[in-house]
Amino acid sequence: MDQRIIDLYDRYTHGSMTRRAFFDRLAALAGGAAAATALLPLLENNYAAAQVVPETDPRIATQTISIAGTEGLTGYLVKPKRGERWPAVIVIHENRGLNPHIKDVARRIGTEGIVALAPDYPSPLGGTPADEDKARELIGSLKPQDALGISRATLSHLKRQPDIGKVGAVGFCWGGGQVNALAVAEPMLDAGVAYYGRQPPADAVASIKAPLLLHYAEIDPGINAGIPAFEAALKEAGRSYELHMYPGVNHAFNNDTSAERYD
């Protein structure tokens, strides 16, 4: 697929244009409305086709729970059925909210013998809507300190559970940035994994205690612009991290619901 089309979709998903403007520009690049319509299924998320672990999987138990610390906050909890004590991972969604893909990611983690808790960041505002554009708008309305408060409340909830040991976090896109922000703010975090997430200010990096695993896409200039300063600050502070740059791939390459960007 023409890289210009993927770049256009990336700008759209990050909130820089309306759906109508996106489709008009897509039609111009593709050669008409019919061609644009045919391309959409390759770009947009297909949750049903990409589901890996169904909720009926016998290895796990799932439920939606309330999380104390932020009024109205809920999360999708996945626990392994075997064992009595587990590590846990906070799963932080992209800027489209707690959708079926992120719930599936949480279930995948659960089948590995790890508790997964995916907070619904828009839940204090009524929850993630089915319309992804509306979800993006809701998440865009969250103040940074409110998003961080949700992350910290989720971490505190897991740390209070007697059957849970160490707690890490993994996030994607917007969620990757939230993992980095949580690592800066919260010494209780035991590990952080950020997929193509925005970096914290360099002068805040010394506050990080958790080891970090950082995944970036080579074709992602908006996110990658912050890498040099982030990595320099990590090195200067002597922090434990691994940084992987994947050649020839686009932003959101780990999201296997998008046929064209997944790699």
Task: Using the predicted structure, report yes or no on whether residue 15 has a pLDDT greater than 80.
Answer: no
Burial-class residue 38 by CB neighbours within 10 Å (0-12, 13-18, 19+).
exposed
Predicted local distance difference test score (pLDDT) of residue 16: 66
Query: Average pLDDT, stretch 61-88?
Result: 97
Three-state secondary-structure class, residue 58: coil
Query: Average pLDDT, stretch 75-89?
Result: 97
Predicted local distance difference test score (pLDDT) of residue 50: 67
- For the chain, the C-alpha Rg in angstroms (whole number) is 18
Burial-class residue 97 by CB neighbours within 10 Å (0-12, 13-18, 19+).
buried
Interval 187-205: pLDDT, tens: 999 999 999 999 999 999 9
Query: Average pLDDT, stretch 173-182?
Result: 98
Predicted local distance difference test score (pLDDT) of residue 33: 86
Task: Using the predicted structure, report yes or no on whether residue 161 has a pLDDT greater than 90.
Answer: yes
Three-state secondary-structure class, residue 30: helix
Q: Is the dihedral of CA 237, 209, 247, 198 positive or negative?
A: negative
Query: Average pLDDT, stretch 75-82?
Result: 98
